[in-house]
């Protein structure tokens, strides 16, 4: 997956280092509950961010109810490097506590004609016989929507805060 940002690599990366950015991004995510669980910047310009987003059970699609009962929380960790040679890279991991589902991958933020480009390579795994593949496909389609929503939010945030 990829998303084009209006801001430069430096502007997007600077947003990733701003706690207010994460709090506002979570608040606008559409989740019923959100928390910024931790945010730790290193001395070299990198940052590790852990968030939790929860959807109430009554908002979940039926297919999710086949493997998870109750509200669904998604814990996500992004570990961004400092900018080196005009690029920033990240590892991304996600899990649903109490469910046999996980997400792992990498991200690269690089210059583009429009400002910057975020390229993501993610693997979703749902370890449930018979329905796991269907749930993986559903999650994959939702990830595309999520990446686009986060791209729109980040571009707007940069316009309003720089």
Q: Which residues contact 97 (CB under 8 A, 6 or more apart)?
A: 73, 75
The least confident of 28-42, 49-63, 83-97, 133-147 is: 133-147
Q: How many structural domains compose the chain?
A: 1
Q: Where are the beta strands (DSSP E) in the chain?
A: 2-5, 33-41, 47-55, 72-80, 88-95, 101-112, 115-126
pLDDT at 104: 97
For 21-72, the pLDDT digits (tens) are: 999 999 999 889 999 999 999 999 999 999 999 989 888 777 777 667 888 8
In terms of residue numbers, what domain contains 153? 2-161
Query: What is the CATH number for 17?
Result: 3.30.530.20
**pLDDT score for 43:** 94
Which of 33-42, 101-110, 120-129, 131-140 shows the lowest per-residue confidence on average (mean pLDDT)? 131-140
Distance (Å, whole) CA 160 – CA 12 = 13
């Amino acid at each position: 997956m990829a998303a084009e940002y209006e801001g430069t690599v430096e502007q997007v990366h600077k947003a990733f280092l701003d706690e207010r950015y994460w709090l506002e991004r979570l608040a606008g995510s559409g989740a019923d509950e959100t928390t910024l669980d931790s945010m730790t910047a290193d001395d070299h310009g990198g940052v590790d961010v852990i968030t939790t987003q929860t959807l109430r059970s009554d908002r979940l699609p039926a297919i999710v109810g086949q493997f998870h009962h109750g509200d669904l929380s998604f814990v996500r960790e992004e570990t961004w490097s400092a900018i080196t040679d005009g690029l920033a890279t990240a590892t991304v991991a996600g899990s649903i506590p109490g469910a046999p589902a996980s997400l792992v991958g990498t991200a690269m933020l690089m210059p583009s004609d429009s400002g910057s480009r975020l390229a993501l390579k993610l693997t979703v795994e749902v370890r449930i016989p018979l329905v796991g593949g269907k749930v993986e496909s559903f999650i994959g389609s939702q990830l595309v929507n999520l990446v686009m929503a986060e791209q729109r939010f980040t571009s707007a945030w940069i316009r309003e805060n720089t």
